[in-house]
Amino acid sequence: MKCKRCSGPAVVEVRRHNAAFCADCFVHHVREQVRRAIKSHDMFGPEDRVLVCVSGGKDSLGLWDILLDLGFRASGLYLGLGIGEYSERSRLATRAFAAQRGAELIEVDLRGEYGFDIPTAGKKGSRSTCAACGLSKRYVFNRVALDHGFDVVATGHNLDDEAATLLGNTLRWQTDYIARQHPALPEREGMVKKVKPLHRLSELETATYAFIRGIDYVVEECPLVAGNTQLRHKEAMNALEARSPGTKAQFFLGFVEKAASVFAGEDRQGVALTPCERCGQPTTGRFCAFCRARAQVLGERLAQAAGDPRTDHRQVAGELSEEVMPAEIYASSGGRDG
């Protein structure tokens, strides 16, 4: 096999592109895919401050690496989820990467900052562990970006993640989620712009990139992943891809190009947002989904905490169980983030 670009000996095959690359040209290919994603969706420019949400895995550290190499002003954000040894290893991997690249890393500890961790939220709250995890991530990413004046939040979702999420959203016909499953979501009142620059690259490509670049990432999966529905959808997409290379790209990139506009009216962009009475983040109700979930896990009564003695028990309980979650305007599924 010869490298498509330089005709030297190839080390990686990308079946979807019917191409093979040597290590250097593969790195070039990956950077070009990211550059193309950023440009075609007008994600950010050289002056913008980009907050990269890093989990310590191959995708998010790879994304940070690529953005730094492309010359963007990219800082990292690590959120400590309190998932035992796994979280510790993830923290160390992100710290080591930041130190090596001389890049700014912001660290937030969920328990230290908000009083609970993800395993506790999974046991005590009404959401699944992954849903509580996704909600906490989206909330903290947005909040840190606003507090530190970042222009845009970037996550490491790759093509496999996006294709699996789209499959799940389509199987359930969650048209409002489908409408928001876009590689770039514009900013709106209190919500920072959110982008996915790796959406043109498969998981195999991001893993190969991290390997070639010598990025020391956490290989193990989150130990709480069992039961995550996105995993099943990934398996289904992998089975299709194995028979017909290019299926994932046709499905997701085809959606973005040809079908996303059909669902554009289905999201809740028109719904008015007001500040959460507890934390000030945008929501359509009195309290945002994160504050409600947190109060539930901590056994607190929200209205009281917000200083409203008029609200009785039943009303508070109603608010807590309310399943319209405006703080999840950016949600695409209960899946994993980056």
- Closer by beta carbon to ligand FES, 303 or else 327: 327
If phi > 0 it is left, if psi is from -120 to 50 it is alpha, else beta; for residue 134 that is alpha
Residues in region 274-333 near Zn ion by CB under 5 A: 276, 278-279, 281, 288, 291
Choose between 165 and 281: whose C-beta lies nearer to Zn ion. 281
Q: In whole angstroms, how close is the CB of 151 to ligand FES at the nearest point?
A: 28
Which DSSP letter does residue 2 get?
B
Choosing among ligand FES, Zn ion, none, which partner's interface includes residue 118 (Cβ < 5 to 8 Å by kind)? ligand FES
**How far apart are CB 294 and Zn ion at their closest, in Å?**
8
And the tokens for 232?
């099943």
Binding pattern for the stretch 203-242 against ligand FES, x by CB under 6 A and - elsewhere: -------------------x-xx--x--------------
137 vs 278, beta carbon nearer Zn ion: 278
CA dist list (Å): 81 to 90, 97, 121, 214, 316: 10, 19, 10, 26, 27
Tell which one of 133, 154, 256, 316 touches ligand FES (CB under 6 A). Answer: 133
Least distance to ligand FES from the beta carbon of 120, Å?
Answer: 12
Which residue's CB is nearer to Zn ion, number 163 or number 291? 291
For CA atoms 269, 271, 272, 276, the dihedral sign is negative
In eight-state DSSP terms, residue 78 is: E
Question: Considering CB distances under 5 to 8 angstroms, the limit depending on partner class, which of ligand FES, Zn ion, none binds residue 225?
Answer: ligand FES
- Tokens 């959401």 -> residue: 127
Task: For residue 167, count other CB atoms closer than 10 A to its CB.
Answer: 21
Binders of Zn ion in range 90-109 (CB under 5 A): none
Could you tell me the CA-to-CA distances from 25 to 4, 5, 20, 199, 271 in Å, in that order?
Answer: 8, 7, 9, 20, 46
Cα dihedral across residues 180, 251, 334, 157: positive or negative: negative
130 near ligand FES, judged by CB under 6 A: yes
Query: Which of ligand FES, Zn ion, none has residue 279 at its interface (CB below 5 to 8 Å by kind)?
Result: Zn ion
CB of 129 to ligand FES, least distance (A): 5
> Minimum distance between the CB of residue 79 and Zn ion, rounded to whole angstroms?
17
**Shorter beta-carbon distance to ligand FES: residue 85 or 189:** 85
- Asked if residue 135 binds ligand FES (CB under 6 A), the reply is no
- Residue 288 touches which of ligand FES, Zn ion, none (Cβ within 5-8 Å per kind): Zn ion
- Shortest distance, CB of residue 60 to ligand FES, whole angstroms? 14
Residue placing its CB nearer to ligand FES in the complex, 22 or 222: 222
What does the block give as tokens for 77?
């954000």
Q: How many CB atoms lie within 10 A of CB 78?
A: 24
**Burial status of residue 41 (CB atoms within 10 A of its CB: 0-12, 13-18, 19 or more):** middle
Residue by residue, what is the 3-state secondary structure of 145-214?
HHHCCCCEEECCCCHHHHHHHHHHHHHCCCHHHHHHCCCEECCECCECEEECCCCCCCHHHHHHHHHHCC
Q: In this complex, which beta carbon is closest to Zn ion, that of residue 108 or of residue 279?
A: 279
Does residue 37 interact with ligand FES by CB under 6 A?
A: no
CB proximity list for 101: less than 8 A, separation 6 or greater? 64, 65, 68
Binding site for ligand FES (CB under 6 A): 118, 129-130, 133, 222, 224-225, 228, 336
Binding site for Zn ion (CB under 5 A): 276, 278-279, 281, 288, 291
